[in-house]
Copies of this chain bind each other. A is one copy, B any other.
């Protein structure tokens, strides 16, 4: 029973607004008028704040973002338990992201995030493991996603979360993970899904350090107030960081822990204490907005001058290493 009828609504229909046009200026100066088509591209902003105690080494998250051919981004969260075995957990996640970026030159991998994950994993020789998400936008507006573990991704349309992916885990705090060891997961274990996006849709993706420390309503609020994807990514990361070090904040993480039966010791309970607080962690945020660009009908859409997102024609590739 949906209570309200359509006729009681103010006209609520969402239609994609007319595309903000970024025609291929260089080409058009020399070309006759020709039929044009629309292609979807991503404008991408990123921000990484390492775990306070890991800041000196840049943390254990890694990511890349590339605005070529629609737009691709990926996030890997190195599993910290490896430090107990004297393995730097950042090495695996960073190499996995470098390899993922390199395999975008591979025809097959550049069109399929699961294949990209397979090839990048196979090429990674570091010891360690990581949760990972890879997302790529097709020119038609379809966002293809492959995810292993608990990196998150939400799509916001008209001020609502209209799509989000679920984390995969073996048990609380032990997510599925791509690993150098045979007991880990592989591309075959990935959640593979896609969602059709419209102009203006906003993608918010991140390592669990983001989604463990910030609620959907806070994400929606920040997105609505941010002038652009860079500012949004920074604001989201900073609020998540603030919550992560706040021992009085009842975070999504502490609420989830309690719902799984975790609690403070009995003697603390007697004193009125409860399991609460943010979760200190590396925090990686990717915010991407779908835009449309006009390209000539008879072009393949692969030449540089057809890119029109905010970051210009050149590929934007960023690694966590740059934040070290």
Which residues of A does B touch, CB under 8 Å?
1-9, 11-15, 51, 60, 77, 79-82, 84-85, 129-131, 149-150, 160-166, 168-170, 173-177, 179, 181, 183-186, 188-189, 191-196, 208-209, 279-282
Interchain CA distance A85-B8 in the complex, whole Å: 11
Q: Closest CB-CB distance, A121 to chain B, in whole Å?
A: 13
Q: Considering residues A60, A192, A279, which has the most beta carbons from chain B within 10 angstroms of its beta carbon?
A: A192
The CA-CA distance from A130 to B4 in the complex, in Å, is 10
Given the contacts A1-B60, A161-B166, A162-B166, A129 and B185 also touching, CB distance less than 8 Å: no
Task: Kindly state the separation between the CA atoms of A189 and B9 in the bound complex, as whole angstroms.
Answer: 15
Report how many copies the assembly holds: 2
Q: Is the CB of A184 within 8 A of B1?
A: no
Task: Say whether B181 contacts A7, CB under 8 Å.
Answer: yes
In angstroms, Cα B12 to Cα A149, docked, is: 13
Contacts of A12 in B (CB 8 A): 170, 176, 183, 185
Q: Which residues of B contact A129 (CB under 8 A)?
A: 2, 5-6
What residues of B have a CB within 8 angstroms of the CB of A130 in the complex?
2
Report A90 CB to chain B, min CB distance, Å.
11
